[in-house]
Amino acid sequence: MKTLIIIRPDAVLRGLVGEILTRFEKHSIRVAGLKVMQLDREKAGELYEIHKGKPFYESLLNTMVASPVVVGVLDTDVLDNKSAISLVRKIVGATDPSLAEMGTIRGDFGLRIDQNIIHASDSVDSAVREIPIFFKKEELVKYKC
Ligand code: ATP
Ligand code: MG
């Protein structure tokens, strides 16, 4: 199972990219694709399209385009699809850093709900929809073992 993460502008500026990737690698989750990108409002809007119309939508887009992000595809093929997504989300932690458990990425590094460090696909369907927004098939590697 492949799932999308985005290390958000706040985390990239704070130099947390390596630390965040390490958290996943420690669980034998591999990186299948990785790039540094400057998002525009169109791409950020496509990612967060289910939130269109919500009060925080415009500020969410502003946050996502403020400075470069690191977009990654994580490969969790040793797990079934649902377990893979739930493991990644568990490592990430709750949306609001003040509620996220210590030991999760958001619990350890997040400041506020609008500076919560990382995006991660929340379901198998979301991962399938989100990955092609950022990666062509040939940009993703396959591990043979
Ligand atoms: P993400 O999709 O970024 O992984 P999530 O799935 O935990 O986060 P969502 O409900 O999808 O949470 O919200 C998407 C993003 O919108 C959050 O990461 C957060 O930055 C922002 N957000 C969500 N709810 C609020 C809110 N009530 N006020 C301000 N910002 C919010
Ligand atoms: Mg979400």
> In the chain, pLDDT over 90 holds for what percent of residues?
93
Phi, psi of 42 (to 5 degrees): -65, -50
Q: Is 119 an annotated catalytic residue?
A: yes
Ligand 1 binding residues, C-beta < 6 A: 51, 56, 60, 95, 113-114, 116, 119-120, 122
The answer as to whether 6 is a domain residue is: yes
Residue 78: band (very low, low, confident or very high) from pLDDT cuts 50, 70, 90: confident
| 132 inside domain | yes
The helix/strand/coil state of 2 is strand
104-116 per-position pLDDT tens digit: 999 999 999 999 9
How many domains is the chain partitioned into structurally? Answer: 1
In this predicted model, what pLDDT tens digit does every residue of 13-52 receive, in sequence order? Answer: 999 999 999 999 999 999 999 999 999 999 999 999 999 9
Task: Write the CATH number for 46.
Answer: 3.30.70.141
Q: Residue 101 carries which DSSP code?
A: P
Inside any domain, residue 144:
no
- Interval 57-62 mean pLDDT: 98
Which residues, 6+ apart, have CB-to-CB distance to 80 below 8 Å?
1
